[in-house]
Amino acid sequence: MNREGLDGSIGFLMGVTYRKLSHLLLQRLKDYDITPEQWSVLYRIQEMDGCIQKEIAERSGKDKPTTTRILDALEAKGLVRRKIGENDRRSFRITITDKGKELIRQTEPIEKKAVQDAAAGLSDGEIETLLRLLRHIGDNVDGLSGKE
């Protein structure tokens, strides 16, 4: 197998594919005034309502400054609320508003359809293999962080 050049680079192809899928979702979410990046963070908040920003960043795969910027935008749109932590006044618990829940309810089928369209022609087994391989690559990268 020839893996020379960028066309054979796992990282390059993953990045290109991510950008294409993100752009597709951006187009499909346009009427809802939310970006794919904001949507994924809002979705994570909906999954674990009342968590702290650090947990949201970890579960969303985003750094702290990016997470803060996204939370600011979501809060400005009335989709989430920050509540001062009970034990640590420097941390905030992030909760989803009813407006945020409704937005997820309306847009989750759009996200699922975009992914389904992007994966057209792949069998369920191929999709499971792809997900397993992507998780494995992610775990490998996590294990290398700070070692270089």
Q: Convert the pLDDT of each residue in 121-143 to its tens digit.
A: 999 999 999 999 999 998 998 88
* Domain membership flag for residue 28: yes
Q: With pLDDT > 70 as the criterion, what percentage of the chain qualifies?
A: 92
Indicate the pTM of the whole model.
Answer: 0.85
Which candidate, 21, 28, 29, places its Cα nearest to that of 115?
Answer: 21
Q: Residue 15 sits in a domain of what CATH number?
A: 1.10.10.10
Structural domain tally of the chain? 1
- Predicted local confidence at residue 49, as pLDDT: 87
13 pLDDT band (50/70/90 cuts)? very high
* Domain membership flag for residue 1: no
Domain span at residue 10 reads 6-146
8 Å CB contact between 53 and 122: no
